[in-house]
Structure 1
Amino acid sequence: MLEMRNVSYEVDNQRIIKGIDLKVSEGDTIAIVGPSGSGKSTLFRLMNHLISPTDGTITFEGKRYEDIQPEQLRRSISYLLQESDLFDKTIGENLAFPSVIRGETFDKSRASSLLDAVGLGHYEFDKRVEHLSGGERQRITIARQLMYKPKVLLLDEATSALDTANRDKIERLIFDLADEGVAMLWITHSNDQSIRHFKRRIQIVDGQIDKEESLR
């Protein structure tokens, strides 16, 4: 579904990503591990077409990235950043945003289901997000990202601000999507998390795939 062939990325004469080959298939669950500064987040930015490789090619469903409109691509390949990026408005306005940019009707039923799934079903849509804790904001960000089911989901330390109970809720929600065919790549610094649920684990060191292993 998504394939990187000999992909490199260089900025200011520094090669951050070096000759990566990677295939991602439907329903794949891949843990991405490695030391800080090894290029993991840059790899995701390449996959999400936020930046373009300086060498190599990336294809999605057989089409080169250059031949796909970036916004169209990002509706299929969803990138969930580590930090909450909510608007300082209400929960409802944040959850409605994906439908607004698509010109579609806000699915309040799905929004309510997602709020329940992330453990925030007790809040009304008119609750202002400025009054939420950091962990609650992160869970609202996750719910907003999943208002539309992507084909590929990229997660960068998505549960880092959560306690164990809420982390487990988010993992169940996301791995249920993998069971429905969504491919998922998850950057994590938790060794325990990197071997739980995942089919594959890829270690990135100095911008290269240092090790790849099958976990099941």
Structure 2
Amino acid sequence: MLELKNVSYHVDKRDIINNISLKIEQGETIAIVGPSGSGKSTLMRLINNLISPTEGEIYLNGKPYEQISPETLRMKISYLLQESDLFDRTIGENLAFPAEVRNEKFDRKRAKYLLKTVGLGHYNFNTRVDHLSGGERQRITIARQLMYKPQMLLLDEATSALDKQNSEKIEKLIFNMAKEGVSILWITHSNEQSSRHFKKRIKIVEGRIEQEDDLS
């Protein structure tokens, strides 16, 4: 589904990503591990087309990124960051935003399902997000990101602000999406988390793939 061919990313003569080749199949679940500053987040930004490779090519469904509009790419590849990124308005307005961008009707039924699934079903759409805790805001961010099912979901330490119970709720939701064919690429610093659910674990050190483990 997605392929990186000899992808590098250099800044000021420094190699952030160095000659990475990687294939990700539909429904595949991959944990990305490695020390801080090793290039993991930069790899995600390349895959999400927020930055372009200095060298090499990235393909989605056999088509090079240069031939796909950024808007189309970001609807197919969804990127969930570590920090919550909400508008300081209501839960409903935040969850409706992806539909607004697409000029489509807000799916209230899916929004209610997602709120309940992330453990926030006791709130309603009129609740203001500035009244929520950091962990609750993060769960609303995750619910908003999942209002539409992408082909691939990128997660960068997405549950690091959550306690174990809520983290496991989010994992269950996301890995159920993998069963529906969504590919998952998840940066985690938790050895326990990287050993659960995933079919593969990739270790990145100094911009290179140092190790690949088959966990299936």
Which AA in structure 2 matches 1:109?
K
Which AA in structure 2 matches 1:129?
V
Deviations 1:82-117 (A, max 9, x none): 000001110000000000000000000000000000
Runs of 4 or more above 2 Å deviation: none
1:203 corresponds to: 203
2:49 corresponds to: 49
Percent of residue pairs identical: 69
Which AA in structure 1 matches 2:112?
S
2:16 counterpart SS class: strand
Q: How far apart in 2 are the matches of 1:101 and 1:50?
A: 18
1:30 counterpart SS class: strand
1:193 corresponds to: 193
Which AA in structure 2 matches 1:95?
L
Deviations 1:38-97 (A, max 9, x none): 000000000000000000000001110000000110000000000000011100000000
Give the CA deviation at 1:2.
Answer: 0.3
How high is the TM-score relative to the length of structure 2? 0.99
Which AA in structure 2 matches 1:200?
K
Structure 1 unpaired stretches of 5+: none
2:58 corresponds to: 58
Give the CA deviation at 1:11.
Answer: 1.2
1:173 counterpart SS class: helix
1:106 corresponds to: 106
Q: How far apart in 2 are the matches of 1:7 and 1:22?
A: 9
How high is the TM-score relative to the length of structure 1? 0.99
2:75 corresponds to: 75
Q: How far apart in 2 are the matches of 1:206 and 1:143?
A: 33
Kindly report which structure 2 residues correspond to 1:172-191, keeping only aligned pairs within 5 A, or say none. Answer: 172-191=172-191
2:153 corresponds to: 153
Q: How far apart in 1 are the matches of 2:70 and 2:213?
A: 31
Q: How far apart in 2 are the matches of 1:165 and 1:214?
A: 27
Q: How far apart in 2 are the matches of 1:108 and 1:185?
A: 28
- Indicate yes or no: 2:123 matched with 1:136: no
Q: How far apart in 2 are the matches of 1:148 and 1:56?
A: 30
Which AA in structure 1 matches 2:103?
G
Give the CA deviation at 1:165.
Answer: 0.8
Q: How far apart in 2 are the matches of 1:41 and 1:70?
A: 19
Q: How far apart in 1 are the matches of 2:89 and 2:207?
A: 38
Q: How far apart in 2 are the matches of 1:12 and 1:90?
A: 42
Give the CA deviation at 1:12.
Answer: 1.5
1:21 counterpart SS class: strand
Q: How many residues align?
A: 216
Q: How far apart in 1 are the matches of 2:106 and 2:174?
A: 21
Structure 2 unpaired stretches of 5+: none
